């Protein structure tokens, strides 16, 4: 469709066009119900079909066995910064946190507000978070280790997850969930705000290993307890039905159109590789993240001056490339190239960047 731009927004972000078209086609009469998905009851067979199919698709894509709950919680990933320590650290024991950027820092703060005795065991703050710490000294007696797998703002990503021994990892995967296969064997929980890689804003997917529910105390508010969401199939209260429906369609697209997470990973590597190769060879653009720590989802880069960055972003918009301005806290430029972004968008962007360099 000609009036749609190449959308490199960090979140809410681009969705697959076939998903948007399916929503449009079924918007007034969902699954023969005679109602829109935004009008059906969450306690109807129509919505049960949506949420249960979404859960089954997540389980198939990530090869999850029955040890895991797939939950949908409101309040975004930011709510998980508060819920994880509230639910898992009620008996005075500690958790380890790795600080790799803005979102990790916020997760740490939300645990500290609750006076939880957490330990920050590694940080890349010394170099403005341009790398992922290695050889981290984890504590054997921690209840869990908290990580941010992909740092949306700083443009870094754990290439492989660290070895935390017997301590389960709790991972904020908001910006790289379902972008590659995942070994769940050392993972206690992952969470991901939908609006980066899965759907519209409004819900956070939480995948929780059932044994962690043993840590959840009874004396916390129902809506802040993982047990509530696990016991009620995420429908203790009214869930954001439309958001979950869109997620279901995105999951179907990953499974049936892309062909699963190995294929998704190949496609994402080709995209990021193309863009980083061009940047590294240009001498004009400069990637901000260290090699070995670079994100396949958020490519952050600078131009020779802030003035050039300003005109780059403005001209990009005129030419149909949106969302290339870096996060307001760091400046520079950023191309967010989540699952839905195709290689065609990357090739077009590289052509535009070449042109811009030539005339600058």
Ligand X SMILES: *Cc1c(COP(=O)(O)O)cnc(C)c1O
Q: Which spans of this chain sit near ligand X (rule: CB under 6 A)?
A: 11, 76-78, 103, 148, 152, 172, 174-175, 193, 196
Tokens of 137: 């000294």
Of 96, 103, 116, 253, the catalytic one is: 103
Q: Is 335 helix (H, G, I), strand (E, B) or coil?
A: strand
User: Between residues 102 and 319, which has the closer beta carbon with respect to ligand X?
Assistant: 102
Q: Is 315 helix (H, G, I), strand (E, B) or coil?
A: helix
Least Å distance, CB 29 to ligand X, is 31
CB atoms within 10 A of CB 20: 16
Least Å distance, CB 82 to ligand X, is 10
Is there a contact between 346 and 339 (Cβ–Cβ < 8 Å)? no
Of 96, 172, 176, 271, the catalytic one is: 172
User: Between residues 9 and 225, which has the closer beta carbon with respect to ligand X?
Assistant: 9
Tokens of 156: 């870094």
User: Between residues 250 and 353, which has the closer beta carbon with respect to ligand X?
Assistant: 250
User: Between residues 175 and 312, which has the closer beta carbon with respect to ligand X?
Assistant: 175
DSSP secondary structure letters along 101-122 = SHHHHHHHHHHHHTT---EEEE
* Catalytic residue list contains 183: no
Least Å distance, CB 174 to ligand X, is 4
Least Å distance, CB 206 to ligand X, is 12
Q: Which of 257, 295, 269 minimizes the C-alpha distance to 103?
A: 295
Peptide bond before residue 37 is cis, with ω within 30 degrees of 0: no
- CA–CA gap between residue 82 and residue 106 (Å, rounded): 10
* Catalytic residue list contains 265: no
Q: For ligand X, which residue has the nearest CB?
A: 76
User: Between residues 195 and 225, which has the closer beta carbon with respect to ligand X?
Assistant: 195
- CA–CA gap between residue 174 and residue 297 (Å, rounded): 11
CB atoms within 10 A of CB 337: 27
Least Å distance, CB 104 to ligand X, is 8
Q: Which of 108, 66, 91, 47 minimizes the C-alpha distance to 218?
A: 91
* Catalytic residue list contains 106: no
Of 116, 154, 196, 271, the catalytic one is: 196
User: Between residues 30 and 193, which has the closer beta carbon with respect to ligand X?
Assistant: 193
Least Å distance, CB 215 to ligand X, is 22
- CA–CA gap between residue 84 and residue 225 (Å, rounded): 9
Q: Which residues are catalytic?
A: 103, 172, 196
């Amino acid at each position: 469709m000609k009036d749609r731009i190449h959308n490199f927004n960090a979140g809410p972000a681009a969705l697959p066009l076939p998903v948007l078209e399916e929503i449009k086609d079924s918007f007034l009469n969902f699954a023969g119900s005679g109602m829109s998905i935004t009008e059906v009851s969450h306690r109807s067979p129509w919505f049960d079909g949506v949420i249960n199919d979404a859960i089954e698709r997540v389980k198939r894509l990530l090869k999850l066995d029955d040890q895991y709950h797939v939950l949908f919680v409101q309040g975004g990933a930011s709510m998980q910064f508060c819920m994880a320590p509230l639910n898992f650290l009620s008996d005075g024991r500690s958790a380890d946190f790795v600080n790799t950027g803005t979102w990790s820092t916020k997760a740490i703060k939300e645990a500290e507000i609750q006076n939880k005795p957490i330990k920050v065991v590694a940080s890349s703050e010394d170099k403005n978070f341009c790398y992922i710490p290695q050889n981290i000294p984890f504590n054997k007696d921690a209840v869990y280790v908290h990580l941010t797998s992909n740092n949306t703002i700083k443009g870094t990503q754990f290439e492989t997850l660290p070895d935390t021994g017997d301590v389960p990892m709790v991972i904020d995967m908001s910006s790289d969930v379902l972008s590659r296969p995942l070994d769940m064997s050392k993972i206690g929980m992952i969470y991901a705000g939908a609006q980066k890689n899965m759907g519209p804003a409004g819900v956070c997917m939480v995948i929780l290993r059932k044994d962690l529910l043993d840590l959840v105390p009874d004396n916390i508010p129902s809506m802040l307890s993982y047990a509530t969401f696990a016991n009620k199939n995420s429908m203790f209260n009214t869930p954001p039905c439309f958001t979950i429906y869109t997620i279901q369609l995105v999951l179907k697209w990953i499974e049936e159109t892309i062909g699963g997470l190995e294929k998704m990973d190949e496609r994402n590597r080709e995209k990021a590789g193309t863009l980083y190769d061009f940047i590294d060879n240009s001498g004009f653009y400069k990637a901000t993240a260290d090699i070995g720590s670079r994100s396949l989802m958020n490519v952050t880069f600078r131009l020779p001056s802030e003035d050039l960055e300003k005109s780059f972003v403005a001209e990009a918009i005129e030419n149909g490339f949106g969302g290339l301005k870096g996060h307001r806290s760091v400046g520079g430029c950023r191309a967010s190239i989540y699952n839905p972004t195709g290689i065609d968008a990357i090739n077009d962007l590289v052509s535009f960047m070449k042109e811009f360099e030539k005339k600058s």
